[in-house]
Amino acid sequence: MNNHIKLFIPGPVEVSEKTFKAFCSPMIGHRSESFKELYRSIHPRLQQLFGTRQPVFLSTSSAWGVMEGAVRNLVRGRVLNCMCGAFSDKWNDVSLRLGKNTCRLQVEWGEPIRPEQLDEKLASGQFDAVTIIHNETSTGVLNPLSDLCAVAKKYPETLLIVDTVSSFSVLPINMDELGIDVLLTGSQKALALPPGLALFSVSERAFQRALEIPDRGYYFDFLEFKKNQEADMTPSTPSISHIYALRSKLDDIFAEGVENRYARHATLNTMVHDWVRRHGFEFFAPEGYRSLSLTCVKNNRGIDTVKLNKLLKENHHMIIDGGYGKIKGTTFRISNMGDETPESITALLNALDDCLARL
């Protein structure tokens, strides 16, 4: 672990020694009593974090598996994709590749999805489901989730699929209260686990919908997950290592206190924002819609971000992200997810100061 390059990119993020130790626990059979105990031991805490009384499932895949699976399980005919950045745009492409009839609510990268825009689209036709990304990681935009959910509630035939891959455990998200039908997240962002596990929960009416859909496939069949979870198991052999690591992470989260965790992320995010302002940079996302997990900085000073990152890596053994897709170079991103602390973010910002001075 010593001398590795510490990741301040928005996923994967740094994984702690404690988590790695848990990840390396000895194997157990996935149909054994020990496995069932393991799943049982984490399930109530997962429900609490999801804000749901519904079952929480563990998928051995990255988040995209469940993002694709949600469309497959819930959409017969039309799906509306809310698109405001690389990940949400791709969800439309994935829906098309599944042969679904898709409709696009596209806004400029850097802009949030506004509730009135969603209302207008949903009113324009019948949709089986709508896909929303809470925190669009590519642009650093935090969409106004509770307002969007309130709009979606007006259309009971349209099920609500929400990706919280980079916001889960950073701020409170209450699935049942918000009326979300599929809430999904991944392991390598704010949970600071190695990549390869996705977590999700499904509402009762989404299970009812899945029953009506014949070609759900097998690996991501929500009804298979439901049946197996009732016996404290997963449909196929899961990454047991990830589940051990997840248990260790849940111990950490509840030892810190969930509210304290949210407050810590807000504090760290503010520290990065102060640094951005201090150096005369601007934000890519408008005020009021900025991510609490990461900061997408507008490179209005026109610095050489490739060189900045090279200096950071060589001199300080850290890296940030040089911007995603079409906004590479014109933006850069700094993550404050996972186990970071005021001390570690201060160390990063000091290192960035040093590198900026050498550009």
Nearer to ligand PLP, 296 or 355 (CB): 296
Pairing assessment for the beta strands 135-136 and 141-142 based on DSSP bridges: antiparallel
**Distance of closest approach, residue 194 Cβ to ligand PLP, in angstroms:** 11
**Distance of closest approach, residue 3 Cβ to ligand PLP, in angstroms:** 26
Locate all alpha helices (DSSP H) within the chain, ordered by sequence: 17-23, 33-50, 63-74, 86-97, 115-123, 145-152, 175-178, 204-211, 222-229, 240-256, 258-278, 305-316, 342-358
**Distance of closest approach, residue 110 Cβ to ligand PLP, in angstroms:** 15
In whole angstroms, give the CA distance from residue 14 to residue 7: 5
β partners of residue 171 = 168
163 membership: H or E segment, kind and range: strand 159-163
Nearer to ligand PLP, 49 or 198 (CB): 198
Q: State residue 277 phi and psi, 5-degree precision.
A: -65, -45
Query: Which residues of the chain form contacts with ligand PLP (CB under 6 A)?
Result: 11, 62-64, 87, 133, 135, 137, 163, 165-166, 186, 189, 195
Nearer to ligand PLP, 128 or 163 (CB): 163
**Distance of closest approach, residue 334 Cβ to ligand PLP, in angstroms:** 15
Quick one: tokens of 336? 């404050």
Nearer to ligand PLP, 192 or 233 (CB): 192
Nearer to ligand PLP, 55 or 85 (CB): 85
In whole angstroms, give the CA distance from residue 156 to residue 77: 16
**Distance of closest approach, residue 28 Cβ to ligand PLP, in angstroms:** 25
